[in-house]
Structure 1
Amino acid sequence: MAPSPPPSADSRTRSAALREALATRVVVADGAMGTMLQAQDPTLEDFENLEGCNEILNLTRPDIVRSVHEEYFAVGVDCVETNTFGANHSAANEYEIADRIHELSEAGARIAREVADEFGAKDGRQRWVLGSVGPGTKLPSLGHIAYDVLRDGYQQNAEGLLAGGADALIVETTQDLLQTKSSLIGARRAMEALGVDVPLICSLAFETTGVMLLGSEIGAALTALEPLGIDLIGLNCSTGPAEMSEHLRYLARHSRTPLMCMPNAGLPVLTKDGAHFPLGP
């Protein structure tokens, strides 16, 4: 793998502007990616016969991925997330493409960066790209995978995202605090390797039972993660806004770190056409 180029002055300026915005106002991000891609009915050939591997579309159908970013920017969001939720070791390894993590991550970030810059050029308003770092499919706390293997895979993911032009990294939908830590440390190592410092966001997934998948409560998560130097902490996925309110109340009272929240449109309902999310705007 060729070394990534050093960060440009533009990328440093964008990240600084994002930090300023996060400190002074509400910054609005996009919504779903997977269901938007599915709605365009990509073929098995588009997936290179790796059905459901959305990250492959960054290479085979960048037009589809681009159209999702365009739809979100068109309705006024400040940020979009990259199509890289599964560009990590445990998820990519199930498709036997763990050697392509950096390639898929960089391609996903580059598509989003191009769209963000095009919209910014039209009206002079800054738009940002959040590099999506997903949880993968293995839980290290249960011995599914070694911590260092996960961490190094996340570093490749983050280095690709930064090389492609991401302005921040969002470690999201995390369910196991050891996996969360491996993602954050991998992201930090990527920043050090490339000589950049971008906002690092940590977003947890809580079950309807009120705890993370492995039983961690919100207070335990905050205590474990806040010392790792994250810029934002919050919740995404799993539940709708109502179920997240108590966790957000706790964070609002106890967190020294600013908050973020990206709820699902309610709990998904499985139908013959796939998952349906019942809540409207």
Structure 2
Amino acid sequence: MTLAEHPLLIFDGACGTSLQSMAVTEADWAGCDGCNEILNVSAPRHIIQFHQSMLNAGAMVVETNSFGASRIVLAEYGLQERVREINQAAVDNARTAIAGRPNRYIAGSVGPGTKLPSLKHIEVAELAAATAEQIQALLDAGVDCLIIETCQDLLQTKTAVVSALETCERAGVEIPIMVSVTIEQQGTMLVGSDIAAVVATLEPYPLFSLGMNCATGPQDMISHVQYLSQQWSGRISVIPNQGMPQVVDGATCYPLSPADYAEQMYGFVVSHGVSIVGGCCGTSPDHIAALVNRLAGVLPKDREVVV
């Protein structure tokens, strides 16, 4: 069975916050402290362990540790010439983790980068070239799908989508392309676009799914999911944080228990036809295990899209 044939897909949980809880040493960082992507090469055991923890919890899809593995972001650590190596290693680590596990898949993660074109941080052509370079490396390494995620700028999103489609066409590869935008608590993306603008902009493209991740917990995504359920004809993904982040004694923490998180996610599936779920910041293997258990035997509600 291919990834696209599953009526309900359960993605893994948080990579970044999970790595923060691991015993990553100074030597592991190889002089690039804070660059999670270098760990693919310098300390792959941590990445494989993370993937395995999510798979053991029941996740069907693991995202590669390549969120910031574009030339633009890697240049901040002097790693801009190692794009192919790092993305290849990210996929290899995920493949090692899923070995021997049937019907488990690898999603190539493509983050927004650190420079947004709408804010004039970067020219569209430079962003497109960097995105295409990373996506080509992920395709060559053999991912099962691409997820363009945590999109904060609609121009950045559209640039990444076009780059992905053109790169897949040049490579002669047909795989699902997912887009996941970040809607802040005030109800828009960072640069001001709401979910209606997102749908209108991306509707012409042959995307496998459209959804949301990061920024908030499930509760603050409800109205946006309702809109997608009525207005987006493709599949919908919801990959929220473990609730709204809070600062307690100087440390960032997330409030939702595994049971509460799973119950709220269950509502998206049975009430709004969401068919791709998973966890972003804060979500642990316990959250994914609770999600898997809550959704056992559940199918997404049939949707009727308003034309």
Show the counterpart of 2:185. 208
For residues 66-119 of structure 1, give each alpha carbon's deviation from its aligned partner in whole angstroms, at most 9, with x where no partner exists.
001101111111101010110123321222222212211111011112222332
Task: Work out the number of aligned pairs and report it.
Answer: 258
Q: Does 1:47 align with 2:33?
A: no
Secondary structure in 2 matching 1:219: helix
User: Which fold has the larger relative contact order, with Cα–Cα distance below 8 Å and residues 6 or more apart in sequence?
Assistant: 2
- 1:19 pairs with 2:12: no
The answer for the alignment partner of 1:237 in structure 2 is 214
Shift of 1:165: 2.2
The answer for the alignment partner of 1:132 in structure 2 is 109
Q: Which amino acid aligns with 1:20?
A: E
What's the secondary structure of 1:45's corresponding residue? Answer: helix
Deviates more, 1:246-255 or 1:150-159: 150-159
Deviates more, 1:65-74 or 1:154-163: 154-163
Distance apart, 1:156 and its partner CA: 1.4
Name the aligned partner's letter for residue 247 of structure 1: H
Partner Cα distance (1:47, 1:190) in 2:
31
**Residues 35-90 of structure 1: CA deviation (Å, up to 9, x unaligned):** 11121131232112111000000001111100011011111111010101101233
State the match for 1:4 in structure 2: none
Q: Which residue of 2 aligns with 1:68?
A: 50
Q: Distance in 2 between matches of 1:18 and 1:104?
A: 24
Q: Which ranges in structure 1 are unaligned for 5 or more consecutive residues? A: 1-13, 121-125
- CA deviation after TM superposition for structure 1 residue 272, in Å: 5.2
Tell me if 1:103 matches 2:117.
Answer: no
Q: Distance in 2 between matches of 1:272 and 1:134?
A: 30
Q: Distance in 2 between matches of 1:227 and 1:248?
A: 20
> Structure 1: how far apart are the matches of 2:70 and 2:203?
23
- 1:189-204 paired onto structure 2 within 5 Å: 189-204=166-181
Q: State the alpha-carbon separation in 1 of the partners of residues 212 and 38 from structure 2.
A: 27
Q: How does 1:260-275 map to 2 (within 5 A)?
A: 260-271=237-248, 274-275=251-252
d(CA) in 1 for partners of 2:251 and 2:163? 33
Q: Secondary structure at the match of 1:161?
A: helix
Unaligned runs of 5+ in 2: 259-307
Matching of residue 94 in structure 1 with residue 73 in structure 2: no
How far is 1:262 from its partner?
0.2
Root mean square deviation, CA, Å:
1.4
Retained in 2: the 8 A contact 1:169–1:198? yes
Q: Indicate yes or no: 2:153 matched with 1:176.
A: yes
User: Is the alpha carbon distance of 1:60 and 1:75 closer, same or farther for their aligned partners in structure 2, counting shifts above 3 Å?
Assistant: same
Q: State the AA in 1 paired with 2:246.
A: V
For the 8 Å contact 1:89–1:149, the answer to whether it is kept is no
Q: Deviations over 1:8-39 (max 9, x none)?
A: xxxxxx7xx11111xxx111110100111121
Match of 1:202, SS state, is strand
Residue 162 (structure 2) aligned to one of 178, 185, 197:
185
TM-score by length of 2: 0.81
Q: TM-score, normalised by structure 1?
A: 0.88
Distance apart, 1:273 and its partner CA: 6.8
